[in-house]
Structure 1
């Protein structure tokens, strides 16, 4: 389970914390130095690195002709780089990896949402999320390379599973909608008028 402080400090702010956690749980690793190498559909076993420097050396040794994924978010190494020498140790640093991974995943979510017609209902989000996770794992969505694709921009309506514990959010949600046909119970009635100031002035 990801540390809440790490999510708050490092994750892409356009994703809700619950979605970040769900994303890492679906595609990532608990080990920030985790490396997965695939070639021709097969997983290639590589030595387990003990330091970030070792991890980057393993990535550099395997990146030619293979798909190498690294860190907490298992982000593909080498996206947008022209040379393996450009690979930096921060690729496996937890905060930097989470930032890069969630930023990329947020872009993929927007690509998927655009294909769906940018739905505004939270009910559609689980399907969007599943498609985005599949696109993350395969690198493609509707035949397009998602990691190289342009970001369509915009916001994605996310279905949060986070309990409301923030006082401001609670205050926003204190007024409940009561259906017209609901049975009336005087004990359940809401205070409609603030009477606290009556009699307070002389």
Structure 2
């Protein structure tokens, strides 16, 4: 469980803290060193990093070859990176990850909210789906321009209404339905820890 005080301290000021708290609950990780790697229909399972240096090496190894999500917000490690040397331990620092992840999710949320206009009841759910897949309306959502503040954003409810709870359960139990546009949708799991001995002989 992530400390609420840390979320309040580190969340980007352009997005409501309540939105980020629910975002981390539904799409994030409790482990700042979490590195999730997917390629095609596989989830790649290397040996979990024990510290920030291990995590950075693992991220650099797979960025550009697979989809790599990192840290508390499961931030897309390859976003806005032209060279793996640009990847730093900031990605697995709890506060920095929340700051970067909340800023990027805030942009995704605003993109979805602007597209949906006054019909904002499903904005959060669609923003979560876009975050997970990286796609919204057939476009790479992370690369889209930030449309700016949403008029009446404070009126968009993110409370756990019966419909929201049902949507949340659907999101957790049918992840593939949200990954229709994801070229790295999760499926078969591949444990790479058994290859460790082989790598040492290469």
TM-score, normalised to structure 2, is 0.73
Report the alpha carbon displacement of residue 76 of structure 1 after superposing the two structures with TM.
0.7
Q: Deviations over 1:60-118 (max 9, x none)?
A: 1111320000000001102111100110111100000001101011100110011112x
Looking at structure 2, the residues matched to 113 and 4 of structure 1 have their Cα atoms a distance apart, in angstroms, of: 25
2:75 pairs with 1:75: yes
Looking at structure 1, the residues matched to 41 and 13 of structure 2 have their Cα atoms a distance apart, in angstroms, of: 34
Q: CA RMSD in A?
A: 1.6
1:146 to 135, 141, 155: 141
Q: Which runs of no fewer than 5 residues in structure 1 stay unpaired?
A: 163-202
TM-score, normalised to structure 1, is 0.73
Whether the 8 Å CA contact 1:7–1:17 is kept in 2: the answer is yes
4+ residue stretches of structure 1 with deviation over 3 A? none
Greater share of residues in helix: 2
Report the alpha carbon displacement of residue 160 of structure 1 after superposing the two structures with TM.
5.3
Q: Which runs of no fewer than 5 residues in structure 2 stay unpaired?
A: 161-202
Whether the 8 Å CA contact 1:16–1:160 is kept in 2: the answer is no
Q: Deviations over 1:116-149 (max 9, x none)?
A: 12x2x8xx34x10000000000100000111111
1:104 is matched with 104
Mark the structure with the bigger radius of gyration. Answer: 1
2:64 pairs with 1:64: yes
Looking at structure 2, the residues matched to 93 and 53 of structure 1 have their Cα atoms a distance apart, in angstroms, of: 11
The size of the alignment, in residue pairs, is 157
Whether the 8 Å CA contact 1:32–1:93 is kept in 2: the answer is yes
SS in 1 for 2:143: coil
Looking at structure 1, the residues matched to 94 and 136 of structure 2 have their Cα atoms a distance apart, in angstroms, of: 27
With CA pairs under 8 Å and 6+ residues apart, which has the higher RCO, 1 or 2?
2
Whether the 8 Å CA contact 2:67–2:78 is kept in 1: the answer is no
Whether the 8 Å CA contact 1:2–1:21 is kept in 2: the answer is no
SS in 2 for 1:73: coil
